[in-house]
Amino acid sequence: MILRKAIRKIKRIFWELNGTPNLIKREIKIPAKWFGNLYGGFYVHPILNQSSIVYSFGVGEDISFDLGLIDKYNCQIFAFDPTPKSINWISDRRLPTNFKFFPYGIHSETGYVIFNLPKNKDFVSGSIIRQQNVDPGNCIQVQMKCLDDIIRDLQHTEIDILKIDIEGSEYEVLDDILNSNVKINQILIEIHERYFVDGRKKTQELLSKLRDKRYYLFAISDTFEELSFIKFDNQI
């Protein structure tokens, strides 16, 4: 783990000296704290409490981010993942009562979709997107819901943190999230531009859409893939 951390730091220094991928740069300076391990973590603006609501889309077999928030703030975690291996893994865990899991994913529309399972049987993450890590010949139907339907079912009007790690679908689902009938204070996104020929363009469009809704980038992981945004109503 120490070696992986050192490699990430070296990559970050290289990118900062030679130009970051997609020219991703922090837009607002506020406190940020990392939660989770190196693989499954994100930066968070640490203003949570036990009443805070966190939506965590795409948990796989790594809930270090979610448990880290519970350990620090005793907040309410609502986790979602339609992947069979994830559902089975979660069912075998003894979890805190304020960690609630739902066996479906987020999408722009509610319904069932074709879900491609990973090529490597040891891996967890599947995807709606046909990308290099999945096998289109090995797919299943899984349930998805749009955010408005999810918040209606769970009866939430405000979400403190919405995190998405959904293997390339973030570009498609973002519009639905930004136009939903719920207040979202922080949005954390793992981007997967490497899955697309026009991935850099997709990321720039994603950043632009967030900025138009007054979400500003306040923290970036060492790999420049985990991006953390906060709602700030004043123009900066």
In this prediction, residue 86 has a pLDDT band, given cuts at 50, 70 and 90, of: very high
Q: Are 69 and 44 in contact (CB under 8 A)?
A: yes
**Average pLDDT, stretch 219-229?**
95
- Pick from 102-106, 123-127, 183-187, 222-226: least confident: 123-127
For residue 170, how many other CB atoms are within 10 A of its CB?
25
How does residue 179 score in pLDDT terms, banded at 50, 70 and 90? very high
| Spatial distance between the Cα atoms of 64 and 95, rounded to a whole number of angstroms | 12
Q: Write the pLDDT tens digit of every residue in 130-140.
A: 888 888 888 99
Q: Which pLDDT value is given to residue 8?
A: 53
β partners of residue 227: 189, 220
Which residues face 188 on adjacent strands? 163, 228
pLDDT band at 11 (very low <50, low <70, confident <90, very high): low
CATH T-level topology, domain 2-231? Rossmann fold (3.40.50)
What gap in Å lies between CA 217 and CA 229, rounded to an integer?
4
pLDDT (tens digit, 9 = 90+) per residue, 56-75? Answer: 999 999 999 999 999 999 99
Name the band, by pLDDT with cuts 50, 70 and 90, for residue 116.
Answer: confident
Percent of the chain with pLDDT over 90: 73
The C-alpha angle 72, 154, 170, rounded to 5 degrees, equals: 75
